[in-house]
């Protein structure tokens, strides 16, 4: 997006009251994965999907591991059932050839596979990809959750990583862990870690033929409901490179062992303390409100996010978080199964939510889809957060039903004053799972990395053309945690306000751009940017430059 002269900016300011930005722009994405060198072969069991693990896919994380200002891509891959069975039987796992991929962003739309050079590998069935500077050394680290043993890769600062899960105190038992989230719940400056658990993998009888269940008249693998759930864990960062399991002490015990998929730290009730939301498959979600004394209270039901507006639990997979209606409160959406809708929970007062999916146009729009990865992002910088969803069914033969299909689109729902409608993108359908948004070329337009359950990933380069402005922030904590997790940025310009927080988690098994990005529409000036650091410090930037990323260090 082009820069403007001050005169032009003044004109835009005058017009901003009546315009939300360039309305002519049609969203345009081009898959550049091949020419960018993003070559990976996604695997998640066999193509026929006889077992539940084969249906869920894996995630992608965005990180700048070498601090060169360009965002790199980490892809976590699944595995095969025979290999998993061998590991469960006690075999020592050897690194899988394609268990992980790290692609270094070379600039100019090119990436280079540096997995081996970086010392990364995964022997297990990979599920979640996450990144955070957990040890506050200025180099972002990697967490890979697995059906197996989770791996924590410390960034050595020289382009290589060392796996330190054992010395960091992560469980060395085999679990089926899924989404993870870093957040500083005790505000000691060290990012803590919540990991969601899905199914107790040992409750699946691999000695027998896979169970066959009926889904609306078609045969498929059996879902989680008759399997024992895997419990979630909260790990407190001790500040010395180790974590301690504080799940019970913090009162976030997943007593029912629900089938957790996605977690996110966010200060939902605006009391200055990060809470935790967990999306659970086939069960009520969790919302753990932070008391500030090291403990939480589960209050999803009372907060209105345990169930949808009908009081019905859904198959919650991914989570999107954002202030889609500009009321200064963060809202959230979960992706769910097909023939059901994705509930949009609007926060109506601190810590209280209302399912507004119908009024937002999302019931009809999302009912055909089975959604996984999701998030809010302003793809055309018109100042409104759009909703993106990576869709794809779990049953390859589901098309027989006529009401849904196995291959589904990657969808973007354009936000027009709080009502969403699907934008035509013309992209190939697939059975998509994890995805992450990031501005890989720093041009102010959010791109997307999308993983299918099998085959090659997509790198959707955003080629949307318009004259809208934008601003981005890259925050670095000093007293607060280095990643500034929990910091809130509010910007004001042209009589409008936008805000967002630096957060980790949400999406689905994936980690999006760690920076904050705001589309400004036709507003050509930001009069003020206020940063509320987790340490309690407030920082104000007057008239920050627009159409660029601004790096801000905590004073």
Interface residues toward another protein, by CB under 8 A: 216-217, 301-302, 304, 307, 309-312, 339, 341, 348-349, 352, 354-355, 358-361, 363-364, 367-368, 401-403, 419
Which region, left, alpha or beta, applies to residue 168 given φ > 0 means left and ψ of -120 to 50 means alpha?
alpha
Least Å distance, CB 374 to another protein, is 18
Least Å distance, CB 346 to another protein, is 11
Find out whether 456 and 36 touch, Cβ atoms under 8 Å: no
**62 vs 315, which CB is nearer to another protein?**
315
**291 vs 352, which CB is nearer to another protein?**
352
Least Å distance, CB 385 to another protein, is 19
CA angle 294, 533, 252 (to 5 degrees): 25
**145 vs 308, which CB is nearer to another protein?**
308
Least Å distance, CB 179 to another protein, is 25
**Where in 161-285 does DSSP place strands (E)?**
161-163, 175-183, 192-197, 213-215, 218-220, 233-237, 243-245, 259-266, 275-281
**216 vs 463, which CB is nearer to another protein?**
216
**300 vs 438, which CB is nearer to another protein?**
300
Round to whole Å and give the CA distance between 151 and 61: 14
CA-based nearest residue to 444, from 464, 414, 417: 464
Round to whole Å and give the CA distance between 69 and 334: 31
End-to-end Cα spacing for the chain: 30
**239 vs 350, which CB is nearer to another protein?**
350
Least Å distance, CB 359 to another protein, is 4
Least Å distance, CB 401 to another protein, is 6
Find out whether 448 and 434 touch, Cβ atoms under 8 Å: no
Least Å distance, CB 389 to another protein, is 15
**207 vs 217, which CB is nearer to another protein?**
217
DSSP secondary structure code for residue 162 in this structure: E
Least Å distance, CB 458 to another protein, is 25
Round to whole Å and give the CA distance between 501 and 263: 16
Round to whole Å and give the CA distance between 195 and 273: 19
- CA gyration radius, the chain: 22
Least Å distance, CB 304 to another protein, is 6
**Where in 495-544 does DSSP place strands (E)?**
496-501, 516-521, 528-532, 538-542
Q: Is 340 exposed, middle or buried (0-12, 13-18, 19+ CB in 10 A)?
A: middle
Phi, psi of 161 (to 5 degrees): -130, 155
Tokens of 362: 């999302």
**14 vs 302, which CB is nearer to another protein?**
302
Least Å distance, CB 499 to another protein, is 23
Tokens 């695997």, residue? Answer: 43
Strands 469-476, 549-553: parallel, antiparallel or unpaired by DSSP? parallel
**86 vs 419, which CB is nearer to another protein?**
419
**28 vs 414, which CB is nearer to another protein?**
414
**Where in 43-140 does DSSP place strands (E)?**
60-63, 72-76, 100-107, 110-113, 125-132
Phi, psi of 451 (to 5 degrees): -105, 130
14 three-state secondary structure: helix
Least Å distance, CB 508 to another protein, is 22
**207 vs 311, which CB is nearer to another protein?**
311
DSSP secondary structure code for residue 3 in this structure: -
């Amino acid at each position: 997006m082009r820069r403007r002269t001050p005169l032009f900016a003044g004109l835009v300011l005058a017009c901003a009251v009546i315009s939300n930005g360039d309305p002519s722009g049609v969203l345009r994405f081009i898959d550049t994965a091949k020419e960018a060198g993003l070559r990976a072969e996604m695997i998640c069991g066999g193509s026929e999907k006889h077992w539940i693990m084969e249906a869920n896919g894996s995630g992608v994380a965005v990180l700048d591991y070498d601090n060169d200002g360009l965002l790199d891509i980490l892809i976590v891959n699944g595995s095969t059932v025979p290999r998993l069975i061998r590991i469960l039987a006690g075999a020592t796992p050897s690194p899988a050839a394609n268990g992980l991929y790290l692609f270094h962003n070379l600039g100019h739309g090119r990436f280079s596979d540096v997995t081996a050079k970086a010392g990364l590998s995964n022997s297990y069935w990979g599920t979640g990809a996450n990144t955070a500077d957990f040890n506050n050394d200025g180099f972002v680290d990697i967490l890979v959750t697995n059906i197996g043993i989770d791996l924590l890769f410390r960034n050595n600062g020289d382009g290589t990583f060392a796996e330190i899960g054992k010395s960091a105190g992560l469980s060395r038992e085999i679990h089926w862990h899924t989404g993870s989230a870093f957040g500083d719940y005790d505000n000691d400056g060290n990012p803590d870690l919540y990991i969601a658990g899905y199914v107790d993998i040992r409750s699946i009888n691999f000695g027998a033929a896979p169970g066959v269940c009926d889904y609306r008249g078609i045969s498929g693998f059996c879902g989680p409901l008759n399997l024992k759930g895997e419990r979630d864990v909260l790990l407190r960062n001790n500040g010395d490179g180790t974590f301690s399991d504080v799940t019970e002490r913090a009162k976030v015990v997943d007593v029912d062992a629900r089938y957790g998929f996605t977690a996110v730290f966010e200060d939902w009730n605006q009391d200055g303390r990060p809470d935790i939301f967990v999306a659970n498959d086939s069960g009520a979600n969790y919302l753990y409100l932070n008391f500030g004394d090291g403990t939480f209270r589960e209050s999803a039901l009372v907060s209105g996010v345990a169930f949808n507006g009908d009081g019905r639990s859904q198959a919650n997979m991914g989570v999107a978080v954002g202030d889609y209606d500009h009321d200064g409160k963060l809202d959230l959406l979960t992706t769910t199964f097909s023939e059901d809708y994705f509930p949009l929970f609007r926060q109506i007062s601190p810590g209280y939510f209302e399912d507004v999916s119908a009024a937002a146009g999302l019931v009809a729009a999302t009912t055909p889809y089975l959604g996984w990865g999701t998030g809010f992002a302003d793809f055309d910088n018109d100042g409104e957060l759009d909703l993106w969803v990576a869709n794809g069914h779990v049953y390859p033969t589901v098309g027989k039903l006529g009401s849904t299909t196995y291959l589904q689109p990657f969808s973007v729902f354009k936000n027009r004053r709080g009502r969403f409608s699907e934008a035509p993108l013309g992209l190939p359908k697939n059975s998509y799972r994890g995805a992450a948004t990031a501005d890989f070329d720093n041009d102010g337009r959010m791109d997307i990395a999308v993983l299918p359950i099998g085959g090659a990933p997509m790198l959707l380069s955003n080629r949307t053309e318009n004259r809208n402005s934008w601003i981005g922030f890259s925050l670095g904590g000093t007293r607060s945690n280095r990643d500034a997790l929990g910091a809130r940025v509010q910007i004001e310009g042209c009589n409008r306000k936008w805000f967002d927080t630096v957060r980790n988690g949400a999406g689905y098994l994936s980690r999006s751009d760690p920076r904050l990005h705001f589309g400004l529409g036709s507003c050509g000036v930001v009069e003020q940017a206020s940063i509320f650091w987790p340490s309690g410090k407030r920082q104000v930037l007057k008239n920050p430059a627009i159409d660029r990323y601004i790096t801000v260090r905590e004073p």
